[in-house]
């Protein structure tokens, strides 16, 4: 097995003081398997820089890819671009022992939209594959729109999409209009 230049699991304690940069692409192939379910065969580029900062680690980078989506208005297939900037602090913290408790108070940093976020790991191994997969999944739109800059979010919203699996009432059925399945219930009689 060949040694990967950009590992999927990074031992944070082994990073040099100046930090290290990691680049993952479709061509390098390290993340192809884990990202297949979310981006399919689309290209991706993940750039990460992890630097030690005392007892924490600074993670900065960006993710760029495309996701195959279907417009929620017109049902046309399109590619949703994902451009995500990352800036997080990684804190390694031993897990709580049996009987230990932890309470959380409001933190002022949660009110700010800018600046780094943080994540807590129980070991010094950072799994890049899981992290990138979740970052892309979180960037996926809840209601995909093929052209959000257009009025109503869809440039095709006034057009009917020609798809075999879509039907628009009687006109889609042609001359062979199927009977309403509930009409069968009208003909049924209960025996008492």
Kindly state whether residue 192 falls inside one of the protein's structural domains: no
Low-confidence ranges of the chain (pLDDT < 50): 1-3, 172
pLDDT at 97: 66
* Interatomic CA distance for residues 177 and 175, integer angstroms: 6
In a domain, 132, yes or no: yes
Other Cβ atoms less than 10 A from the Cβ of 71: the count is 21
pLDDT for the residue numbered 174: 55
51 assigned to some structural domain: yes
Name the maximum alpha-carbon separation found in the chain.
86
Containing structural domain, residue 49 = 9-96+104-159
Per residue in 55-76, pLDDT (tens digit) is 899 999 999 999 999 888 888 8
pTM attached to this predicted model: 0.70
pLDDT, residue 10, reads 92
Residue 136 domain-assigned (yes or no)? yes
Q: How many domains does the structure of the chain reveal?
A: 1
Q: Is residue 74 in some structural domain?
A: yes
């Amino acid at each position: 097995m060949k040694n990967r230049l950009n590992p999927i699991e990074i031992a944070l304690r082994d990073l040099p003081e100046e930090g290290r940069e990691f680049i993952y692409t479709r061509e390098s192939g390290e993340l192809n398997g884990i990202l297949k379910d979310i981006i399919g065969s689309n290209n991706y580029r993940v750039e990460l820089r992890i630097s030690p900062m005392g007892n924490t680690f600074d993670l900065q980078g960006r993710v760029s890819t495309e996701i195959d989506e279907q417009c929620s208005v017109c049902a046309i297939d399109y590619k949703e671009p994902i451009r995500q900037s990352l800036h997080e602090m990684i804190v390694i913290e031993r897990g709580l022992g049996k009987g230990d408790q932890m309470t959380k108070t409001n933190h002022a940093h949660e009110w700010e939209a800018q600046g780094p976020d943080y994540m807590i790991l129980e070991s010094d191994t950072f799994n890049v594959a899981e992290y990138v997969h979740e970052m892309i999944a979180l960037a996926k739109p809840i209601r995909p729109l093929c052209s959000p800059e257009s009025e109503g979010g869809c440039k095709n919203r006034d057009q009917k999409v020609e798809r075999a699996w879509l039907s628009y009432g009687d006109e889609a059925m042609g001359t062979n209009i199927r009977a309403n399945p509930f009409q069968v219930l009208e003909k049924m009689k209960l025996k008492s």
